[in-house]
Chain A
Amino acid sequence: MTLGSSGAGSSVVVPRNFRLLEELERGEKGIGDGTVSYGMDDADDIYMRSWTGTIIGPHNTVHEGRIYQLKLFCDKDYPEKPPSVRFHSRINMTCVNHETGMVDPRKFGLLANWQRDYTMENILTQLKKEMAASQNRKLVQPPEGTFF
């Protein structure tokens, strides 16, 4: 197993693969209300880079009743660097590129101000909160079931 790079500071630095295994276990156990869920895209990938996630649209928004599928890619430098997040389900949001579905780190605060202890669950939960934000809750959405 590849060890993650050791970081500065007095806190214990968890190597990359242990961190990903921990997140995988949390994803399988389903802690939370079930509106966001995630898991590995390819179970045979020993580097555990490719992940898939879903967000169920929050209530009282145009996203209510929709399921959005996402792809997250955790490269070797995760969790020092944030993963790249891309929507697979078509969505109209201010922080999502309209052609590719990529979440723009410059417009999504969690990716712009990434910290090591953030998790993929935090990303999905924050994206769900972003859907309920005032600038996104009433945007006209593409038809359900379409993909980028």
Chain B
Amino acid sequence: MKLTVKTLKGTHFEIRVQPNDTIMAVKKNIEEIQGKDSYPWGQQLLIFNGKVLKDESTLEENKVNEDGFLVVMLSKGKTSGSTGTSSSQHSNTPATRQAPPLEAPQQAPQPPVAPITTSQPEGLPAQAPNTHDNAASNLLSGRNVDTIINQLMEMGGGSWDKDKVQRALRAAYNNPERAVEYLYSGIPVTAEIAVPIGGQGANTTDRAPTGEAGLSGIPNTAPLDLFPQGASNAGGGAGGGPLDFLRNNPQFQAVREMVHTNPQILQPMLVELSKQNPQILRLIEENHDEFLQLLNEPFEGGEGDFLDQPEEDEMPHAISVTPEEQEAIGRLESMGFDRARVIEAFLACDRNEELAANYLLEHAGEED
């Protein structure tokens, strides 16, 4: 018997079937007629009178008769493009029993438009081009941090405990490659050297104690490392705007990039923030306009605002020192000067110990 099949595109065609044919046979029949590209039988779904027909059943079991019609569509979210199928049938007579027999319709199927899928990278890339990418990846999943921590502990062969690895990752802004470097050469020098150099250094100082406090909940707090830092900075941020501490936070910069790329991510991030750090969320709600302004600031451009400890020239990079320079800093420190001022003077005088000593003595009376 002849059966009318309708498509979602509004076209229809006839197939020749037997009442005892299975639905699978009908699907293969449709594939033969319409082409494998348009209607692969594995993805076809046939609907008759409000029911999705099962492959094992037969047309007779589903009470499909010649007056009825089937609707065919593809599953798994694929939408076939324009098939370009032409038919010599008249649209108003397909179901009429008295319709005269027609020639097989001319088939000109076109391949469906390939669906464009956006794949999300899983885990951290093997070689991270910059810190922001790593920070973004870590914000997405806490398991990544755990994986990295385990890998770094294995690299150390047991000599690096979890606490040390976490501190190295924190000092390296969750960049695993830099963290390995720190683990081999030692964290304290870099962390201490970074302290007085620019705004980043100030954040580094504030970050450490909060990080220690958050160790117990590391699987839950690690992906949202931004927020514990903010908490410790919130009180000290009264000098500038309430949200000024966020401006120089590298994780916040990563969040801004993510929000620019995918604005819809902001809402679930705020929901997550309310669980992890209600204080920050309250601050954001009280200063909604400033928060939006922070998010929409251009990425490149100098900031005119100063932190609590303003520096004339900001040097965001960590400065490395040789052992000899470390000894010189130690000697200057033993003269009774504060370590931060010693390091500042030492670097300002092109690492010349004598000039640095002179500078410190001349400005001994000044207070930061």
Contacts and interface: CB of A to CB of B under 8 A. Distances in A.
Interface stretch (B26-34, B62-70, B187-195): B62-70
Contact of B71 (A37, A66, A69): A37
Interface residues of B, number: 25
Given A28-B68, A29-B95, A64-B77, A39 B49 contact: yes
A98 interface: no
B69 A65 contact: no
Interface stretch (A53-61, A79-87, A108-116): A53-61
Contact of B74 (A33, A65, A69, A144): A65
Given A34-B69, A39-B51, 10 more contacts: A30-B68, A37-B47, A37-B49, A37-B50, A38-B49, A40-B49, A54-B51, A56-B8, A56-B47, A69-B51
A43 B61 CA distance: 12
11 contacts: A28-B67, A29-B69, A34-B6, A34-B71, A37-B71, A38-B49, A39-B51, A54-B52, A65-B78, A70-B50, A144-B76
A106 B296 CA distance: 42
Contacts, number: 73
B49 A27 contact: yes
Interface of B: 4, 6-8, 10, 45, 47-52, 63, 67-69, 71, 73-79, 95
B45 A39 contact: no
For chain A, give the interface size range.
20 to 34
A56 B73 CA distance: 9
A28 to B, nearest CB: 5
Contacts of A27: 49-50
A95 B314 CA distance: 57
Contacts of A66: 77
Contact of A65 (B50, B68, B75, B95): B75
Interface in A64-112: 64-67, 69-70
Q: Select the residue from A28, A30, A40, A54 with max chain B CB neighbours within 10 A.
A: A30
Closest 3 pairs between A and B when the two form their complex, measured CB to CB: A39-B49, A65-B77, A38-B50
Interface in A1-47: 27-30, 33-35, 37-40, 43
B79 A69 contact: no
Contacts of B49: 27-28, 37-40, 52
B68 A67 contact: no
A67 B45 CA distance: 9
B242 to A, nearest CB: 33
Nearest to A52: B50
Nearest to B7: A34
B93 to A, nearest CB: 12
A53 B50 contact: yes
A73 B234 CA distance: 60
A28 B63 CA distance: 11
Contacts of A64: 77, 79
Contacts of A56: 8, 47, 71, 73
A28 B51 CA distance: 12
A39 B79 contact: no
B7 A39 contact: no
A1 B48 CA distance: 27
Contacts of A35: 8, 71
Contacts of A43: 63
A104 B8 CA distance: 29
B50 A67 contact: no
Contacts of B68: 28, 30
Q: Select the residue from B6, B8, B50, B67 with max chain A CB neighbours within 10 A.
A: B50
B113 to A, nearest CB: 13
Nearest to B68: A28
Nearest to B4: A30
A52 B47 CA distance: 11
A124 to B, nearest CB: 8
A30 B94 CA distance: 11
A39 B73 contact: no
A54 B79 contact: no
Contacts of A59: 79
A33 B12 CA distance: 10
A39 B78 CA distance: 26
